[in-house]
Amino acid sequence: MRTDGRQWDALRPVTMTMNPNKYAEGSVLIEFGDTKVLCTASVEERVPPFMKGQGKGWITAEYSMLPRATQVRNQRESAKGKLTGRTMEIQRLIGRALRSVVDLPALGERTITIDCDVIQADGGTRTTSITGAFVALALAVHKLSKNHEFAKYPITAYLASVSVGVINGKTLLDLNYEEDSKAKVDMNVVMTGDGKFVEIQGTGEEAPFSRTELNELLGAAESGILELVAKQKAALGLFGNRIGTANA
């Protein structure tokens, strides 16, 4: 039994509060249990210098934790004067994952920046961020689609993410902080709504793992992600149906 009473293959309660921010083109406050992330999408009608003149759009992401999102207060990265390696790694991951489901030429020469700010952290902040970032992105593209005639709808698939791990030889889905710190194997998986892998990042720093264990972890992750995608569809409602159809 898990400390919070969950089955080993159960997600924590997931909630998505849509558009809590009155300025952003799209936003969601997403919660995986006690992990709460505010995701906002900001649209700019230009692309970064290295993308100019290619007729393509750009998607990028930034990630940060409030100093007291965690049990012990962390120093702000702005006060330290630099981003930690962990932050850079996570925001690169979020951006890369989102771009895998966006048709950048269809988006046109504009940039969508997704900010993932962790309000409270209880494990799984990067998977919660990716899952929420997709929703904020979808809201922003939907808003854009009201004023822009896209030749093709730029979002090509749903996208969500979840963590899996091994504790005492048991495969667990969606680890909270306490579980995460005990897990021997720790894996984050990002998949599309049609069941393809976008990112797999697995680490067995404390105990290398076999191919059999890997397969079990990926199976658990897949079912968790499909459940998350179902929740995203429910939250986005009707207009979410355009995702992946290429119908403008």
**Which amino acid belongs to residue 214?**
L
The only residue of 46, 76, 148, 170 in contact with its own copies, by rule CB under 8 A: 76
Angle of helix 85-99 relative to helix 125-147, nearest 10 degrees, comes to: 40
| Nearer Cβ to its own copies (77/238) | 77
| Nearer Cβ to its own copies (152/184) | 184
Contact in structure between 155 and 137 (CB atoms under 8 Å): yes
- Smallest CA-to-CA distance from 14 within 143, 192, 161, 137 is with 161
Total binding residues for its own copies by CB under 8 A?
67
CB of residue 238 to its own copies, shortest distance in Å:
25
CB of residue 196 to its own copies, shortest distance in Å:
3
What string of H, E and C letters represents the secondary structure of 127-187? HHHHHHHHHHHHHHHHHHHHHCCCCCCCECCCEEEEEEEEECCEEEECCCHHHHHHCCEEE
CB of residue 16 to its own copies, shortest distance in Å:
17
Dig out the tokens for 240 from the structure.
Answer: 């979410």
State residue 203 phi and psi, 5-degree precision.
-135, 130
| Nearer Cβ to its own copies (92/148) | 92
The only residue of 78, 181, 241, 245 in contact with its own copies, by rule CB under 8 A: 78
Contact string (CB under 8 A) for its own copies, positions 205-244, x = contact: xxxxxxx--x---x--------------------------
Cα-Cα-Cα-Cα torsion 225, 226, 228, 231, nearest 10 degrees, comes to 170
Contact in structure between 103 and 57 (CB atoms under 8 Å): no
Is 125 marked as binding a ligand? Answer: yes
Site for its own copies in 129-188 (CB under 8 A): 157, 187
Dig out the tokens for 9 from the structure.
Answer: 């293959």
Cα separation of 196 and 145, whole Å?
26
Q: Is 88 in the site for its own copies (CB under 8 A)?
A: yes
**Is 77 strand, coil or helix?**
helix
Is 192 marked as binding a ligand? Answer: no
| Nearer Cβ to its own copies (7/92) | 92
DSSP 8-state secondary structure symbol assigned to residue 80: H
Q: Is 117 in the site for its own copies (CB under 8 A)?
A: yes
**Which stretch, 9-17, 139-147, 198-206, 231-239, contacts its own copies (CB under 8 A)?**
198-206
Q: Is 51 in the site for its own copies (CB under 8 A)?
A: no
Binding residues for phosphate, as ranges, are 86, 124-126
Which positions touch its own copies (CB under 8 A)?
21-24, 27, 34, 38, 40, 42, 44, 62, 64, 66-71, 73, 76-89, 91-92, 96-97, 99-100, 113, 115, 117, 119-120, 157, 187, 191-192, 195-211, 214, 218
